[in-house]
Amino acid sequence: MTTTYTRPVLDEVARAREVVARLHAELPRWGLVVWTAGNVSQRVLVDPASGPGLDDLFVIKPSGVTYDELTPESMVVCDLDGHLVDGDRAPSSDTAAHAYVYRNLPDVGGVVHTHSTYATAWAARAEPIPCVLTMMADEFGGDVPVGPFALIGDDSIGRGIVETLRDSRSPAVLMRNHGPFTVGRDARAAVKAAVMVEEVARTVHIARQLGPTVPIDQHDIDSLYARYQHVYGQSPAAHDPEDRS
């Protein structure tokens, strides 16, 4: 990388590369992607006292590389305009969307995109996934919303993601005719959201084959969401449950 970045920044980039490479393995593990589709990114965060690099870089998967080939060294580093900063391969075709999200949602530290089957089927219908499960109230705070149709290649997808999620509690959006994008405080949280949105998409689809689903009252959704986000788990200050038991 360019020598204008200090050692703490370079160390954090190396750590982010390892994290992002490892988390990509979770996508095929949970059946969320096929072939080279999908991508994970993580914002690089460092102390501003360390020099240039605060919130202005992220690590993402290179374009068109199979999951078996992904290593920390193969990950690429981009700035928040989506320009390649370090790496010897072209970044993901969704890089502009990730960059736009990071520029406009400063609390987001990780972004994931998949074409997981059930969530993408809802996106093809341009239909939100209704909040009819307590799991959905916990994780998404309500329905999983649908974002607008947008073409790949510029930041149009990113704009749709931001416009849809800016005023939503959901960490997931179903981009119409495309598929799910998820966000989180880091890449691991965004991957978890991607796993969960596929699970609820599948479950609600099956439920609707059996007959009408029963919505949860908004008051109960709010109560469930507040408890799960702020009370559930070992430490409210460091809530990051591995399971739901």
Q: What is the pLDDT of residue 45?
A: 83
Half-sphere exposure of 111 (CA within 13 A, CB side): 31
Q: Going from the N-terminus, what domains does the chain have, and what CATH number goes with each?
A: 7-238 (3.40.225.10)
Distance CA 46, CA 132 (A): 40
Q: What is the pLDDT of residue 232?
A: 78
pLDDT tens column, 110-140: 999 999 999 999 999 999 999 999 999 999 9
pLDDT tens column, 58-109: 999 999 999 999 999 999 999 999 999 999 999 999 999 999 999 999 999 9
Mean per-residue pLDDT for 139-150? 98
Mean per-residue pLDDT for 192-219? 98
Q: What angle do CA 110, 111, 114 make, to 5 degrees?
A: 145
Q: What is the pLDDT of residue 244?
A: 52
Q: 179-184 and 110-113 as β-strands: parallel, antiparallel, unpaired?
A: antiparallel
Distance CA 146, CA 126 (A): 6
Q: Are 171 and 112 in contact (CB under 8 A)?
A: no
Q: Are 194 and 172 in contact (CB under 8 A)?
A: yes
User: What φ, ψ does residue 128 adopt, rounded to 5°?
Assistant: -60, 150
Amino acid making up residue 89: R
Distance CA 212, CA 4 (A): 59
Q: What is the pLDDT of residue 8?
A: 86
Tokens of 120: 């993408």
Q: Are 9 and 53 in contact (CB under 8 A)?
A: yes
Q: What pTM value is reported for the model?
A: 0.92
Q: What is the pLDDT of residue 234?
A: 59
Beta-strand runs (E) in 139-192: 146-147, 172-175, 179-184
> Taking 60 as the threshold, does the pLDDT of residue 227 lie above it?
yes
